[in-house]
Every structure is written in C-alpha cells, then in structure tokens.
C-alpha cells in the first residue's frame, strides 16, 4: 500500500526550478531566486556569512530580535558593525538611515528586517532602499514576516539579498525558504575569501552547481515534502490573488488594533502609529498590573487554537502577540482572540467591554 507522504515519485529538477520561478513571480523579481532547504535562518545566515567579511562596514538596523541576531552574525564574520536600534514600538525612518550614512560614509552593507512578527512593526523599505542605493551599499532584507502580508518588491526597492519563508502570511511550510540574489550580491560573495564553500550554508555552491549549470541536475536530494507544500501554498496564493491575501492581513491588523482599544481595560496597541504596525501580526501592551503571559495562558485554556502568544524573553510580561497570519488572517480569528483576552482580563477583575470590542473589530475589518 502506498503512503501519501512516503511513497512519492522523486521531485524532478524541472519541478524544483519551476517552484523557484513561482517564487520569483511572487516577488516580481528578475534576480536569481534560490530555494533553500531549511527554515529561513539558513539563507539569512548563509547570505551574511557569504556577503560580509573583515572588510565589510555594516549598518545593522535593529527593530526587534532578528536584527540583534544579524548583528551577531555580522560581527562573527569580522565585519565592522554600526547598530541602529529603534524602540520596538516604532519603525526606522529613511532619514535615520541617511543620518547613519552621513556619520559613517564607509558603510557598504545594510541589514534590515522588513516586518517583525515578534514586535509587530514594519519598516518603510521602499524609502530606505532609495537611500541605500544612493550610497551604493549592499541591501539585505529579511522579508519572512512581510511576504504575503504586504508588498515585497526586491527589484523595485533595490534589495540585493531578500529572504522569505512561507510559514507566516503565505500560510505554507516552515522547513523551506528562499532568497533572491542580485548580480552585485553574487559578485560580493565571489570576492569574499571567507564565504562558505562546500558547506550547508553555502549559497555559492548552489550558484555554481545549480544555477550556473542550467538548473538541470539537483546537487542534493530535494526536501520533497516541503517543496510540494511550498508549491501548493504558492498555487493557493495565486488562486486567491496576492492582493486579496494581503488585504486580509491588513484588515486583520486594523480589526485587532481597533478591537483592542474598544475592549478598554488598558489594552493598547504596542506599536504607537498604525502606519508602523505590521499587517502580519498585532502586538498589544497590557496594563501594568497584569502579566501578558498569564492573560495569554488563560485565553489559550479556553480556546487552544487561538493565534495568541506572549512576547519573547523580557517582553513576556508586557506584550501580547496576535499572530493573525496565514489561515488566521480572518475576522473570526480576530474576534475570538479579542473575546478570549477580554474574558481573561475580566477574570482578573478588570472592567472590559467585549461587545464594544467585537463591534469595533467588525467595523474596522469592513
């Protein structure tokens, strides 16, 4: 008897290449798109280790935990790193990037996270890209949490290394990811003697053995189940329409923000300005005398399927994350999340207005 997951025919090189082309179409890019067979940390780390080295002067923008990780890899690679840390309740501005270049004109690499699901902010990549291009620096972007929730356009924005994963707004698998690489970025890697080669982290290996060889023979056995899931997820986005998928995420963010405010009880959007709030996930600040992790635990006790989490690390006390992405980018998921949070707050003796919250969420959605 054949098993639906196990007894599959081999995934061909042609099919693998076709899935890469679908990703390229999603990103509207003419750059090389490489599918990387691991969670998005694989291309995120691989790109930094390949493109940065002892001669690199990097501007590392920190708007959440991923920016901190990138700074560590950059330092590890021997780069000189200028960190630009922005409070987690805001976004970085193109003006701040311009000032950083004015202060350190030798910057030749900029790393930025587009949207951070962990902090709920999103950054104006198009405007920042203009500044980066004016100065000729290489532009590295983590678009894992933005792709599918808002436009991600590496060519239009001058992004040289753009990493995506399917597990957030695309509603796809987590074990596979992709990166688009500009000609400039390939040249920078090729010139870097410390770029990984003959290594699982190596993007250059894949360029030489896969892209430059005409994508005819796969260098390794493909992660077949993840590739099939990625293909299915790209096809579903195409069938629904990318604009419709993004609109659902925007509506979910709007509804969550409006609903949380209407709930009263002191729950507030963590990101101050709506324009800085990521469509992929909404973060909320809890009133001082309650612990976010306790509210979330209580809400999940009543409904374990809710897309709720407390903030990571030190943020666990003050931040609730409403991860309204992928299949949870629905009014129903938002309303159930607000109702459960309202009930958890009421159980702690906080006066809340759940009907008002649900009404406000519905109005903001439509």
Ligand X SMILES: *Cc1c(COP(=O)(O)O)cnc(C)c1O
Query: Which positions touch ligand X (CB under 6 A)?
Result: 39-40, 66, 113, 116-118, 142, 144-145, 165, 168, 174
Only one residue has tokens 């290394």, namely 161
Only one residue has tokens 């000032």, namely 99
Handedness of CA 150, 307, 365, 284 (dihedral sign): negative
The DSSP letter of residue 313 is G
Tell me whether residue 147 or residue 262 sits nearer to ligand X (CB atom). 147
DSSP 245-275: HHHHHHHHHHHHHHHHHHH-TT-EESSSSGG
What distance, in Å, lies between the first and last C-alpha atoms of the chain? 49
Shortest distance, position 161 Cβ to ligand X, whole Å: 14
Find, among 172, 329, 163, 145, the residue nearest to 236 by Cα. Answer: 172
Tell me whether residue 158 or residue 165 sits nearer to ligand X (CB atom). 165
Shortest distance, position 121 Cβ to ligand X, whole Å: 10
Shortest distance, position 284 Cβ to ligand X, whole Å: 17
Shortest distance, position 3 Cβ to ligand X, whole Å: 27
Spatial neighbors of 170 by CB under 8 A, at least 6 apart, are: 147, 148, 164, 233, 234, 237, 326
Tell me whether residue 116 or residue 160 sits nearer to ligand X (CB atom). 116
Tell me whether residue 52 or residue 145 sits nearer to ligand X (CB atom). 145
- How far is Cα 228 from Cα 140, in angstroms, rounded to an integer? 27
Tell me whether residue 168 or residue 254 sits nearer to ligand X (CB atom). 168
Shortest distance, position 47 Cβ to ligand X, whole Å: 13
The helix/strand/coil state of 74 is helix
In this chain, which residue has its C-beta nearest to ligand X? 145
Tell me whether residue 116 or residue 231 sits nearer to ligand X (CB atom). 116
Shortest distance, position 208 Cβ to ligand X, whole Å: 27
* DSSP strands (E only) in the chain: 32-36, 57-62, 80-85, 109-113, 115-116, 121-122, 138-142, 161-165, 177-181, 268-269, 282-285, 308-310, 319-322
Tell me whether residue 65 or residue 196 sits nearer to ligand X (CB atom). 65
Shortest distance, position 122 Cβ to ligand X, whole Å: 10
Tell me whether residue 117 or residue 339 sits nearer to ligand X (CB atom). 117
Tell me whether residue 112 or residue 334 sits nearer to ligand X (CB atom). 112
Shortest distance, position 187 Cβ to ligand X, whole Å: 26
Handedness of CA 159, 126, 325, 92 (dihedral sign): positive
What's the half-sphere exposure (Cβ side, CA atoms, 13 Å) at 198? 1
- How far is Cα 132 from Cα 108, in angstroms, rounded to an integer? 9
Shortest distance, position 70 Cβ to ligand X, whole Å: 10
Residues 70, 45 contacting (CB under 8 angstroms): no
Shortest distance, position 54 Cβ to ligand X, whole Å: 26
Residues 19, 227 contacting (CB under 8 angstroms): yes
Find, among 88, 91, 144, 82, the residue nearest to 111 by Cα. Answer: 82
Tell me whether residue 40 or residue 110 sits nearer to ligand X (CB atom). 40
């Amino acid at each position: 008897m054949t098993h639906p997951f196990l007894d599959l025919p081999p995934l061909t090189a042609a099919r693998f290449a076709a899935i890469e082309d679908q990703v390229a179409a999603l990103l509207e890019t003419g750059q090389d798109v490489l599918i990387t067979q691991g969670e998005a940390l694989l291309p995120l780390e691989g790109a930094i280790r390949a493109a940065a080295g002892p001669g690199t002067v990097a501007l590392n923008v920190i708007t959440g935990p991923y920016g901190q990780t990138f700074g560590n890899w950059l330092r590890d690679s021997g780069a000189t790193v200028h960190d630009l840390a922005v409070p987690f309740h805001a976004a970085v501005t193109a003006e701040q990037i311009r000032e950083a270049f004015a202060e350190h004109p030798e910057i030749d690499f900029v790393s930025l996270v587009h949207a951070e699901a962990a902090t709920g902010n999103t950054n104006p990549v198009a405007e920042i890209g203009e500044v980066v291009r004016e100065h000729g620096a290489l532009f590295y972007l983590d678009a894992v949490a933005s792709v599918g929730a808002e436009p991600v356009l590496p060519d239009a924005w001058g992004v040289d290394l753009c990493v995506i994963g399917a597990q957030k707004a695309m509603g796809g698998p987590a074990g596979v990811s992709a990166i688009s690489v500009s000609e400039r970025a390939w040249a920078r890697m090729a010139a870097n003697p410390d770029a990984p080669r003959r290594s699982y982290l190596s993007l250059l290996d894949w360029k030489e053995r896969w892209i430059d060889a005409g994508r005819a023979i796969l260098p390794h056995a493909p992660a077949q189940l993840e590739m099939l899931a990625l293909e299915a997820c790209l096809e579903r986005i195409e069938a629904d329409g990318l604009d419709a998928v993004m609109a659902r995420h925007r509506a979910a963010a709007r509804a969550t923000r409006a609903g949380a405010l209407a709930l009263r009880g002191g729950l507030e959007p963590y990101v101050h300005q709506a324009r800085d709030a990521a469509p992929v996930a909404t973060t909320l600040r809890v009133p001082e005398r309650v612990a976010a992790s306790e509210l979330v635990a209580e809400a999940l006790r009543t409904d374990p399927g809710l897309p709720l989490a407390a903030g990571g690390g030190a943020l666990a006390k003050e931040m609730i994350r409403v991860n309204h992405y992928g299949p949870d980018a629905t009014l129903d998921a938002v309303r159930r999340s607000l109702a459960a949070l309202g009930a958890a707050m009421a159980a702690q003796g906080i006066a809340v207005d759940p009907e008002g919250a649900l009404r406000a969420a519905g109005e903001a959605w439509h």
